Structure 1
């Protein structure tokens, strides 16, 4: 009997909902993020309409594979464990009119509803840093090596390359560059397993996010707010929030937009090169995400990365308009419950993910944060999956 699994990708620009059955996308919907921020019921209605057997809920920064009936307090679980935030962060962000925090609040409401409504039919997924295939030394002082949506997009990219080249998953050696509306991320896949990742808040300057910041700057700021991760990127620098406008300005040589676009390209290329250090056998760079579809982005990246082929990720069969990340959410869930994608889920060792995203923070200033996330995870999940080494 066919099992329908639905995945929800909470994107910066849109929330995408995808239902997969027998390895084929059967339903998909894209909803503007600001709409959901204002009215989470819109997303809940879209989920209900798909009539799925299992639902892979938005998972933020990730947890080891967790069922809804294992979660004791779903709202607190969403805010503190999945979003690394507090109720005070949410309250102040909403009062300040920060759309990103409105989205966090909406996501928490949706998770609370899904867990209470569907219980063990709800799944939460891990992010890159939780995978056992990534060496511990690469995780030091990191939280964001690729959020769950980046892992999900990488899952689809790995499947896509395997299908395209006619090779087993163990022969897939690629770098995946996910260029989303607000964040960029790069993930290294060696022999079909994720071995490294550079998440959006660790990557070079992004479009919305400032990316990796100079510590000399960080120590001079007395207080950071939770929503500061949504600010300081190239879009804020030029006060333009449309990448196609930057691309057109680049072609016309109009400053400062042209330089901002060039900066975006160079930032992505540098992060890809960092991933190639840990994955020198990579045979291709797979492009995915909203901004990757601009032809000029691929052309300029290829000019800088002459020794490796750049390819677009092919969508899962049946998909027409949904993002690869949403398809990946559903595909991973479908594999976990024994569907068509079970072999890739097993190969990538997704179900062996363990611990929390804060486990590898070694700086003394981060001790309280690390202990908070660890204790909260253990308190809110009935069967926490802790790392043994």
Structure 2
């Protein structure tokens, strides 16, 4: 089948455009066998009136040449189809994203990054919260441990104070002072209250001093009772005790009478509140009676505690006098000399008789002290070191 040169050139250009450059040598070989030459396209006419020149006619091919040419065209078409199949099988054209898909992918990526940021923020917030909770728990545990140590120290100090006789003595003394102060303050409040009530009812001025003239002696009697209780006795015992009780009762009666007389004119007009008004005016004398009654009792109790607390004697504080201490030291010296064999026995017939004890004369000769002191020392030696089965002559 004859083919024009323009058709050949057009096929070659198409092969180049479609990327079939490897088929060009095969087409060139076919043209060389058939004697076909590529013809340049005719130039454009210089003027509209000019007519295009006629193309030369292609030479006729023989039957063999025509067969070869058909075969070359078939091979070219096969290569073209095979290449087209390979291109169609390639998934690259399917993987290519459209503009809409690219926008959707970007939005999805933005959402994923935002979610990742939220997750990171949540993780960091959780971590900070956990560390804060752990720090608070450790701080609370440390505070509890420190508080426990403080309470343990207080308990140990309290135990030491309770076991230490001197500390117990100081505690009792502080309690006695506090009790006496509170009771005296209570009595003072009652006296001032009574004085104000009576003074206002009598018109003021010197009237405020009337009630204390009878209340202050009660405080003096209270102090005397407390002093007597501290010394384990009573104020004016036996016969004269009733005189003191009579004076106390009289003073209490006068104090209560002053309070009641001050409120009697108001009771009639008080009506339903008359009982409350009367009790209110009797309350100050009751404070004085309470203080006067409790003060001797508290003083007696505290004094008994102060005198019965056992105190261990120290180096600088001893309950023995100097004479007793010297006697004990003398007894120890006599026993040391007796054990060392430097004192003879009190038995003149047998100086080696240990059952007779040391001789007073021998002790006096060794120590060089008065006979009375030696005799007291020997008596003390018999009490402390003398044989239990032996009786002094």
TM bucket, shorter chain: under 0.3
Instruction: Give the TM-score taking structure 2 as reference length.
Output: 0.17
Q: Which has the higher contact order (CA 8 A, sep 6+)?
A: 1
Instruction: Give the TM-score taking structure 1 as reference length.
Output: 0.17
Q: Which has the higher helix share?
A: 2
